[in-house]
Amino acid sequence: MDSSQVLLVVFLSLLSMSAAQEYDCNEPMETLARDGKVIRWSYNKENGKCSPSLQKQQRSSRNSFITEKQCLMTCSSDYENIYPPGDAVCDLPMESGPCLALIPQWYYNKERGACHSFLYSGCQGNGNRFENKENCTTLCLNPKKGRTGGADVSGEQPSETDTGLVIGIVCGVVFGAAFLATLALYLVQRKKLKKQHKAVPTVEMR
């Protein structure tokens, strides 16, 4: 091994150590911040998924990533199956994900041999997700074109995806708050009705 190869190995080792110090997938997940202004992703070691939340601009945990793909690439051993290289993404099934956003995206339907639109929830899913029909067609229908970087061609633009995801998170928070308020009001009313329906003492007639 010559000196240049030794230097390369040393450099890669230092780079790996630096990345390991910058991120820690085993740290507790970042919680939703009331004054959060940016979306960050945290790895959940219980289910092996990366989940989004509104967080403060300044990162307070090493389990905090700018994008879901960065989170999965760093923490998940299943990353290569979720975002395989090249046109292998075209063989994956469509997955809209469990979040609440409604983001128009495209996927390749292997059975029909065509690209179709769907609504992406804003989280999870897989590499068979494209921002427009042209990208989907280029990678999955034109064998001689665009066969590199399949997962990246999906056009994961933070601006549009984050906008839809913010709406989904906010809607979820609002819905949860409304539900709790309704439940509290119901319990208060029920307590009042119980007091009103208590037996009234009878007075004997003389």
pLDDT one-digit tens code per residue, 61-116: 788 899 999 999 999 999 999 999 999 999 999 999 999 999 999 999 999 999 99
Token duo for residue 103: 């983001």
On whether the CB atoms of residues 164 and 102 are closer than 8 A, the answer is yes
pTM beyond cutoff 0.85:
no
Could you give the domains of the chain?
Answer: 21-82 (4.10.410.10), 84-156 (4.10.410.10)
Rg value, the chain, Cα: 25
Residue whose tokens read 């989170």:
71
DSSP 8-state assignment for residue 203: -
Asked if residue 159 has pLDDT above 80, the reply is no
Rounded to a whole number, what is the largest CA-CA distance in the chain? 117
Q: How far is CA 131 from CA 28, 59, 69, in A?
A: 32, 28, 15
Mean pLDDT score across all residues of the chain: 74
Identify the CA nearest to 157 among candidates 115, 129, 124. Answer: 129
Compute the half-sphere exposure of residue 185: CA atoms within 13 Å on the CB side of its CA: 6
Q: What is the pLDDT, as a whole number, of residue 86?
A: 92
